[in-house]
Structure formats: structure tokens, C-alpha cells
Amino acid sequence: MNWINQLINVPTIDPDDARRRKLLNIIVLGMFALDVLGIFGIIVVDIIDASPPENITSLYISAITVLAGIVITYLINRYWISWVAGVLFVTLFIIAVSQSDTPAELVQGRAMITFVPAVIIASVVLRPYAAFIVAIVVNVLLLIIGLNAQLEPDPFAVPIFLGIALATWLATRTMERAIGDLRLLNLELEDRVRDRTRELAESLSKTEAILDSTADGIIVFDNTGKATVANPAVSGLLVHRAEEIVGSDFEALMSNAVSTEDKGLISGFLHSQEAPEASVKFQWGKKTLSASAAPVHLESGEEIGTVAVFRDFTREAEIDRMKSTFVSIASHELRTPLNAIMGYTEMLNEGVYGPLTEQQRGAMGRLLANSSHMLGLVNNLLDRARIEAGTIKLNIGDFAPSKLIDGVKGVMDMMAHNKGLELTTNVANDVPSTLQGDWQRLHQILINFANNAIKFTQEGSVNIRIYMHDADHWALAVADTGIGIPEDAQQYIFEPFRQVDDSATREYGGAGLGLSIVKQLVTMMGGWIELESEEGKGSTFIVILPLIPPETEEFTLGETDLAVSDVVHQTETE
């Protein structure tokens, strides 16, 4: 009960003083209660008993005096100096006790019992050595009482009292020492705890600072698969904010953004017990992410969870894709002229262009062997590229034509500007606001055309526009006021490694591979390319595509029917 505590506890600075005051308060209040009960008892007796004892008045007086003494002691103890209260109390106690018995009883033996509490109380409420003081005072008092009453003093009183005082002093002193030691120990411990906490806070804030500043997303999972820590970077990668992730079930979070097979991949990866693979890659919403995970072990070796690091792999994935697109298409393109070479060589060998001499036939044999060899190399290249990156898949989706053009303009603006050329864009009114197609690859194609346009134009302008070719097709055109392409060269420019002429290659740079890849991509999209160009006036490259793209099965570029193409032709050689 709070009010008892309030009554007993005295708020002082010195804890020892507080303890002493509290103890005195307890004793005082105890006495108070007893005294009050005593008064009630006297009243009851007074009322009930027909003939109360004579000294009932004196009983009343002494009881009330005691009460007053107790109250004064309490007040002094609470609001003034504690040892004054203590001394007062002990003195009153001694006086009271000395009045309680006859001098004879006191001197002869009861003193031992009745005065001992005073010794103990003094020792506890004042100081340990107060036990001795009280013992001496009591002895003196007994002597005076004895002398007054002409009684024989008890010879054992002095040593016994001193003995009790000694025991009390030792006990109290030990107790106070122990309390003091505990207090010191406590302070020391508090200091240590404070230091450790500060160190921990520092290292935590360092760790937190590290987690906060990492660009990679970090999530720590416990053994049940629940996310316990997530750093701010995850929100950029996984769309969900860090607060949403912590405590949630990761499986649930994945369901929106991740395909089913990828989900299995991720789950297996995160919860695998054996040493994990280096990393997995998967699609999360619009981004490609790569993740690596490692188990978290305590020093004892116990595994308490997994930490997973997520990185935005979209750029790398795109570069990977571009690389394999490039290699696949390039290999495919290389085979076309090779096949023509082998075809003509075959025909020459078969005498289609007239009979051959032995020597000529021999030369044919060498031609065929070498071109066959080269075809084999190209096939290997293609196979390797296919294995590395799977087949080329068109990612058909909805996109806004205006966004497509703006994207390209943003990239090529600077380049045009640096050359003093004007770059204009335009989307015709009758073009639908969304079109279907592989946005990324269309972007690549446009960049390719725009790049060439700027490259081959010295002055004037480059214009990019989208318009409707007919009811079923839309068109993408890049027009420039550049050097143009001579008519006889126009059919060759879509072949790989071909530019208009070698001087152009030297002056304008580039391996000319871009256009052949563009042609392949456009073919895959179900469309075709048209070219209008006049030497000295400029060129316009037009890509025409169907509004509804062809069904996108996976497009395997040219299965190598090795039986057909790698046949080493039998020749009648020497």
C-alpha cells in the first residue's frame, strides 16, 4: 500500500541515513499502533470494569505521554536530524522501560531483557558503536536505581550488557559494511553496463549506418523464414518498404512480383541447408535481381538465420541479353554468305558453269573444305551463345509510342546537338496511344538508326517519326539529310560487315553489324524494312510492323542441321 511507503520512507540523499530513518519510522509506527491499542484497552477496561484500578488516570497519562513522545520522535525523524530523533527515541525507551518494573526487578535481572532492545535499536538506528554507549548508559542507570533503592547491583550486569553491546556492534557493523560494499559493487556494475551499452550503441549505429548506406538490399531471415531485419535499400529493389518486409512472411510478399518458377528458386535458395550456390537471378516485377544468401551463425556454431543480399541486376542482365542477341544474330548472319560461298563452290565443282580441269577441281576441293570448316566454327559460336543465354525471346508488351520516341530523343539529343544537327520527333495523330511489341528491342533499333543518321550527316537534321503504314501496320521512320546511300549499295547494307564503301568505314567508323541485327529483329517481329535514299540528299530508314505481333513462340535461330551443312563434299581430288 502506497501510503504506508510514503509514511515510512524519508527521502534523503545519503542512503545509509535514509535506511536508518526508515527503520526508526517502522519501529516508531509499531509503537504508535501498540500505544493506541493500549489506550483503547484502558478505555475499555475503564468503561466495562465497575471498579477500575486506582492508577487508571496515571495509566491514561503515561499512555498519552508515550503517544506524544512517539509523535514528536516521528516528526523529528521525518523532517529534521535523524540522530536527534534516534537519541530521543532511545532515551524515551530507556525511561519507559525503567518505569515499567520495580527497581528490585530491574536491578535483579529483568534489566537484561527489557533494556536489550534499546541497545539493538540504538545500534541500528544511530550508529553501530551506539550499542556501547547505550550499554554504558543503561549500566549507569541501573547503578543509580540500585543505589537509590539500596539494592545490590548485579555483578554480571556490566559484562553481560557489554557483551550484548559487542555482539550488536559487530552484527550491525558487518551489516553496514556489507551494504556499503554492495552499493559500491552496484555502482561499479552500473558503470560497466553504461560503458558496454555505449559501446553497443556505437557499434549498432555503425552497423546501422552501414546498412543504411548500402545500395544493395539486405534482409535477415530467422529460422522460420520470417524477415527480421531489412535495410532501406530493399524498398528500391523489392518495391515493398523495409517496414512492410520485417515481420512478414516472405512467401506472401513474393506472390505478386515473382513468377512461380522463380518463387521456387528463391525459396530453395533461402532455405537451403547446404552451402548455397554463389547467387541466383530472377525477375522481380520490372527488375532483374541477383541474390546471394549465407547462413548466420552464432559463435557457438548454432545457426540462427539467413542473410540475403539483393542487387539490381537489370543493367547487367540487359547487357547480357544484348550480348547474346548480338552473338546469335551475328552468327546467323555469318552463315548466310558462307552458305552462298559453299553453294557456288559446289556448283562450280559439279560442272554447272562448265567443265573443270583437274587443277581447278583440286582448288574447288580446298575452297569447299575451308568454307566448310568456317561454317563449323560459326555453328559452334552460335551453339555456345545459345547455351549461354537460351534462345532469343521477344518480350511483347504494351507501350506508348510517344514514350518510345521520347526515350530515344533523350539519349541522342546531346549527340545531335554536339554536331550542330537538329533532332526532331513526331507521332502522327492516327497512331493508337498504345502499341504492342518488344519495347526494349524497338528502342535498340531506333537508337541504331538514329546513331547512323547522326553519324552520316554533316549538316541539317534528323527526324524520327511514327505513323500508320496501313490499316494493319504501323511504321517507324528515321530520316536524315546526310550523305545518302548509292542505289547499288542499298541491297547490301543489311548484310553484316558491309558498309557503303571502305572510305566511309574509315571516316565514320563502325563495323556495320548493327543493321543486319536490326533486320533480323524486325523479321522476328513479323515486319520488314524499307529504305529510301539518294546520294547527297539523305536517307530514310523505315521499319514497318504489324499491329498484332506474330505468336511469340521461342525463336530458335537456325537449328544447325549438321547433316546437311557440314557434309564434306566428295571431290575427285588428287
Query: Could you list the residues that contact another protein (CB under 8 A)?
Result: 332, 335-340, 342-344, 346-347, 350, 352, 375, 491, 523, 526, 528, 553-559, 561, 564-565, 567, 569
DSSP 324: H
Rounded to whole angstroms, the Cα distance separating 223 from 207 reads: 22
SS3 label, residue 59: helix
Residue number, 218 or 342, with CB nearest to another protein: 342
Residue number, 278 or 564, with CB nearest to another protein: 564
258 within 8 A of 280, measured Cβ to Cβ: no
Residue number, 327 or 411, with CB nearest to another protein: 327
394 within 8 A of 546, measured Cβ to Cβ: no
Residue number, 459 or 472, with CB nearest to another protein: 472
Backbone φ and ψ for 102, nearest 5 degrees, come out as: -75, 155
SS3 label, residue 228: strand
Smallest gap from Cβ 390 to another protein, in A, equals 14
Residue number, 395 or 491, with CB nearest to another protein: 491
Single-letter code of the amino acid located at 558: G
Smallest gap from Cβ 426 to another protein, in A, equals 25
Kindly state the cell numbers that stand for 325.
542477341
Q: What sign results for the dihedral spanned by CA atoms 34, 39, 40, 42?
A: positive
Smallest gap from Cβ 483 to another protein, in A, equals 25
Smallest gap from Cβ 349 to another protein, in A, equals 9
Write out 124-188 in H/E/C secondary structure.
Answer: HHCCCCHHHHHHHHHHHHHHHHHHHCCCCCCCCHHHHHHHHHHHHHHHHHHHHHHHHHHHHHHHH
Backbone φ and ψ for 293, nearest 5 degrees, come out as: -135, 150
Smallest gap from Cβ 527 to another protein, in A, equals 9
Rounded to whole angstroms, the Cα distance separating 206 from 359 reads: 82
**Grid coordinates 492516327 are at which residue?**
430
Residue number, 125 or 348, with CB nearest to another protein: 348
375 within 8 A of 342, measured Cβ to Cβ: yes
**Grid coordinates 539483393 are at which residue?**
310
- DSSP of 255-280: HHHS-HHHHHHHHHHHH-SSPPPS-E
Residue number, 55 or 339, with CB nearest to another protein: 339
Smallest gap from Cβ 252 to another protein, in A, equals 38
Kindly state the cell numbers that stand for 383.
551453339
CB atoms within 10 A of CB 226: 14
CA dihedral 347, 349, 352, 353 (to 10 degrees): 100
Residue number, 228 or 490, with CB nearest to another protein: 490
Beta strand pairing status for 227-230 and 217-222? Answer: antiparallel
Residue number, 60 or 467, with CB nearest to another protein: 467
Single-letter code of the amino acid located at 369: A
Closest CA to 67 of 110, 96, 26: 96
Residue number, 110 or 569, with CB nearest to another protein: 569
334 within 8 A of 517, measured Cβ to Cβ: no
Contacts of 100 (CB under 8 A, 6+ apart): 114
141 within 8 A of 94, measured Cβ to Cβ: yes
Residue number, 187 or 340, with CB nearest to another protein: 340
Smallest gap from Cβ 375 to another protein, in A, equals 8
